[in-house]
Amino acid sequence: MIIIRDVTKTYTNGDVTTDALKNINLTIEDGEFIVILGPSGSGKSTLLNVISGLDTVTSGEITFNSTALTSLSESEMTAFRREHLGFIFQQYNLLQNLNVLDNIQIGADIGKDPLDGQELLKAVGLQEAGNKYPHQLSGGEQQRVSIARSLAKNPDIIFCDEPTGSLDEHNSKNVLAMLQELNNNYHKTIVLITHNAGIAEMADKVIKMNSGEITEFIMNKEKKSAR
Ligand code: ADP
Ligand code: ADP
């Protein structure tokens, strides 16, 4: 369980300060699929970055089970992130000079209890592509490789920032179905940010943000399938 208590984040650039997060309170249960919705600039990425320890809070506290993230040193935070957290971004960030299987292996190498690369390829429907290079794949296929890579270390929680942002509708559906399966069948906690309201139908919980605040909080009893 993740508890976010009274979290604020203020960016300061010279004379300009931006209150990107204003007193955020939120609990994320294990195995929950949470979607954070909101217009551009509302603070979604900042929230994801501070929950996942990619950035520090200005005030407030974030606790993962019994670990207070806000009390960890930078190196402790890095170790925590490597062991427990997976990330899927809009950019696939694959290494172009490594083949698909080696890209996935990079993810496995940082995990304590990694999953098998070939099995992951099968899971994302690319069992034949292990020896291909990223430029030989379509955008949808590259995103599936990046999902396999982030799963390779077997994370407890997967953070997704606009994971379908650069995909067409067909590939978006595939990627969302895959995330849903990870949530349903492997009980991975998923925190996904998007400005696409359609994706919210898949979530257990939807949080709407505006100007650094949570403006709405919806429990979704009838979550829909991406298929
Ligand atoms: P969203 O993800 O919803 O588009 P962000 O979290 O990226 O929103 O941004 C929230 C606010 O914080 C915006 O006003 C944005 O301009 C500002 N912001 C984000 N990152 C920085 C930064 N590194 N420095 C200064 N301001 C920032
Ligand atoms: P998808 O539905 O996954 O986006 P596409 O229709 O874009 O797939 O691509 C079909 C096939 O063509 C894929 O199997 C992919 O390997 C190949 N392909 C797509 N784009 C490229 C590219 N730029 N270079 C080489 N092969 C490509």
ipTM reported for the complex, 2 dp: 0.71
Q: Is the pLDDT of residue 125 over 60?
A: yes
Annotated domain spans of the chain = 2-93+156-219
138 lines ligand 2 (CB under 6 A): yes
Q: Is the pLDDT of residue 9 over 70?
A: yes
The three-state secondary structure class of 29 is coil
| Among 47, 16, 53, residue whose Cα is nearest residue 34 | 47
155 lines ligand 2 (CB under 6 A): no
CB atoms within 10 A of CB 79: 13
Q: What is the dihedral of CA 157, 162, 167, 173, to 10 degrees?
A: 50
Measure 96 CA to ligand 1 centroid, in angstroms: 29
Measure 40 CA to ligand 1 centroid, in angstroms: 9
Q: Read off the pLDDT of residues 54-89 as tens digits, 9 standing for 90 and up.
A: 999 999 999 999 899 988 999 999 999 988 999 998
The three-state secondary structure class of 94 is coil
Measure 71 CA to ligand 1 centroid, in angstroms: 24
Phi first, then psi, for residue 61 (nearest 5°) are: -140, 140
Residue whose CA is at the smallest distance from ligand 1 atom 13: 41
Q: Which of 15, 17, 18 to mutate to test the pocket of ligand 1 (most atoms within 8 A of CB)?
A: 18
Residue whose CA is at the smallest distance from ligand 1 atom 23: 11
Cα–Cα distances (Å) from 204 to 1, 44, 207, 223, in that order, read 15, 18, 10, 6
Lining residues, ligand 1, CB within 6 Å: 11, 13, 18, 20, 38, 40-46
Q: How far is CA 209 from the centre of its chain?
A: 17
Q: What is the dihedral of CA 203, 209, 215, 219, to 10 degrees?
A: 10
Which residues does residue 11 pair with via DSSP β-bridges, in sequence order? 18
For residue 207, which ligand has an atom nearest its CA? Answer: 1
Q: Which two tokens stand for residue 108?
A: 């496995």
pLDDT at 149: 92
Measure 175 CA to ligand 2 centroid, in angstroms: 16
CB 9 within 8 A of CB 34: no
Q: Which two tokens stand for residue 54?
A: 């990619």
| Among 3, 1, 9, 10, residue whose Cα is nearest residue 62 | 3
Q: What is the rounded distance in angstroms from the CA atom of residue 79 to the CA atom of residue 144?
A: 25
Give the residue-averaged pLDDT of 155-167: 89
27 lines ligand 2 (CB under 6 A): no
The upper half-sphere exposure of residue 73, i.e. CA atoms within 13 Å in the direction of its Cβ, equals 2
Phi first, then psi, for residue 68 (nearest 5°) are: -85, 105
Q: Is the pLDDT of residue 227 over 70?
A: no
CB atoms within 10 A of CB 131: 10
- What average pLDDT does the chain have? 91
The answer as to CATH 3.40.50.300 being correct for domain 2-93+156-219 is: yes
Phi first, then psi, for residue 9 (nearest 5°) are: -140, 120
Q: What is the rounded distance in angstroms from the CA atom of residue 167 to the CA atom of residue 170?
A: 8
Confidence label for 216 from pLDDT (cuts 50, 70 and 90): very high
